[in-house]
Structure 1
Amino acid sequence: MSRPLCPRCQRPLTHCLCALIPDIDSRTRVLILQHPSETTHALNTARLAALGLRNAQLCVGEVFDDLAQWLEQPGYRPCLLFPGDEAQVLTVPAKTDTPLLLVVPDGTWRKARKLLHLNPILAALPRVRLSAVGASRYRLRKAPEAGALSTIEAIVEALQVLEAPSTFEALLRPFDALIEGQIAAMGEETFLRNHGHRQA
């Protein structure tokens, strides 16, 4: 028998995170394209990011028929947050620059690349990437490479650059609580056995 879920954060009611989710405005618009396989994942950080940002939209799918329409937001310049040789490092914009519509694919690297393959408009967008980033706080997943972040962490890092000196750290409060809750549920001994060696 499944446990009742909070309709907003989709967590079990006994572990609802809504009280920790902030309500933050941003000049940057964030469009999160989530692969369907991520929606039922216990650590669904993209949903937390979308709930905490007023100027964010979360769309789930593999092929997005309305993508061209979503990208044509008046007053925004669309770009894709995705690493690669052609990706420009995000820098603090000039106050006169057009705000970005930051498109963020959400899924494993393989699933994210599949989204780009299935949506040529997405693959054609100018790409941006983060500069050097610290270690991920996502202690329950093995990062495929150094500097790999969860979706919510990548969004926070990007907004910290684009909207400095504003801070978006509050977005990570429910994320941290989610991680701590998962560790508590599995037990400290199990966590250390399976994940402890990944700690710095």
Structure 2
Amino acid sequence: MSRPRCERCLRPLDHCLCALIPAIGSRTRVLLLQHPSEASHALNTARLAALGLINAQLHVGEVFDDLDRWLAMPGYRPVVLFPSEGAQALGPYTQTDDTPLLLVVPDGTWRKARKLMYLNPLLAALPKVTLGNVTPSRYRLRKAPEAGALSTIEAVVQALNVLEYPASFDAVLAPFEALIEGQIQAMGAGTYERNHHKDTGAP
């Protein structure tokens, strides 16, 4: 018999994260496009990001028939957060460039994110942006597949921190960090130290 789950954060009721999820406004609009394989992931950080940001929405799928309508939202300049050749590093908004971004974020493994780009030509045609200086991931449960790899929620928070500096969106990470800590505790300190701590190169 499955454990009762919170309908909002999708966590088991006895581990509900909703009390830690903020409701933070942003000038930037965030559109999260989640590959279906990520929707059932234990962390599902894209959902946590969408819940914590007032000006964000999350859609799950491979082909998004309404993408043209979402990208045409008036008052925003759409870009896709996707590190690739020619991607422009994000910088703070300026008075001469005051049109807020519609930041489209594919959510999935690199292979699945590339598949989303391939299956949605409108997405692939958007200007690409990337993070300039990447803060190391706080996802301590596994070794990053490559330097600079971040979970989706971390990438969104770092992007907003850059775009809307000096505003800080770190509070959006609170449920993510609690989830990581909870999994480490369930794993046991000894197991975590043996299997994860040394792999990250931590002292």
Per-residue CA distance 1:111-134 (angstroms, 9 max, x = gap): 000000110110010000001212
Match of 2:120 in 1: 119
Where 2:104 maps in the other structure, the secondary structure is: strand
AA at the equivalent of 2:110? W
Match of 2:81 in 1: 81
Match of 1:181 in 2: 182
AA at the equivalent of 1:159? L
AA at the equivalent of 1:54? I
Is 1:61 paired with 2:58? no
Distance 1:182 1:95 in 2: 44
Match of 1:131 in 2: 132
Match of 1:14 in 2: 14
Match of 2:172 in 1: 171
CA positional deviation for 1:40: 0.7
CA positional deviation for 1:199: 4.4
Dislocated runs of 4+, deviation >2 Å? none
Distance 1:149 1:75 in 2: 29
Which structure 2 segments of 5+ residues have no match?
A: none
Match of 1:23 in 2: 23
Is 1:42 paired with 2:42? yes
AA at the equivalent of 1:134? T
Which structure 1 segments of 5+ residues have no match?
A: none
TM-score (norm 1): 0.97
AA at the equivalent of 2:159? A
CA positional deviation for 1:135: 1.2
Distance 1:184 1:149 in 2: 22
Where 2:69 maps in the other structure, the secondary structure is: helix
Where 2:168 maps in the other structure, the secondary structure is: coil
Distance 2:46 2:34 in 1: 8
Match of 2:158 in 1: 157
RMSD: 0.9
Per-residue CA distance 1:167-191 (angstroms, 9 max, x = gap): 1010011110000011111212222
* Gap change, CA 1:199 and 1:177, over 3 Å in 2: farther
Where 1:33 maps in the other structure, the secondary structure is: strand
Distance 2:147 2:161 in 1: 20
Per-residue CA distance 1:143-184 (angstroms, 9 max, x = gap): 111111100000000000111111101001111000001111
Distance 1:142 1:175 in 2: 17
Question: Alignment identity in percent?
Answer: 73
Where 1:58 maps in the other structure, the secondary structure is: strand
Distance 2:143 2:43 in 1: 13
Distance 1:86 1:180 in 2: 37
CA positional deviation for 1:141: 2.7
